[in-house]
């Protein structure tokens, strides 16, 4: 039988990693825009894509928690 505490700990650790990854990716987009390598519109599109992927990852992790 799976220990619920262990499952939740793993879930929160994975969510924390996903959040850190998102923060890093958003910072990279910000740096690209600040340096003038991408336009404001491109930066917005990149951010939207990053946030959509992050939400999908959060849903995947939540689904794994619910199935375990």
Q: Where are the domains of the chain?
A: 38-68
Which pLDDT score, from 0 to 100, does residue 2 have?
61
Predicted local confidence at residue 4, as pLDDT: 77
> Angle at Cα 6 formed by Cα 2 and Cα 12, nearest 5°?
130
**Mean pLDDT throughout 25-39?**
98
Averaged pLDDT score across all residues of the chain: 94
Helix, strand, coil % (nearest 5) of the chain?
A: 85, 0, 15
């Amino acid at each position: 039988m799976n220990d619920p505490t262990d499952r939740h700990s793993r879930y929160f650790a994975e969510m924390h990693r996903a959040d850190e990854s998102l923060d890093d990716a958003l910072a990279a987009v910000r740096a690209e825009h600040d340096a003038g390598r991408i336009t404001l519109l491109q930066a917005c599109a990149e951010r939207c894509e990053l946030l959509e992927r992050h939400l999908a990852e959060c849903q995947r992790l939540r689904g794994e928690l619910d199935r375990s």
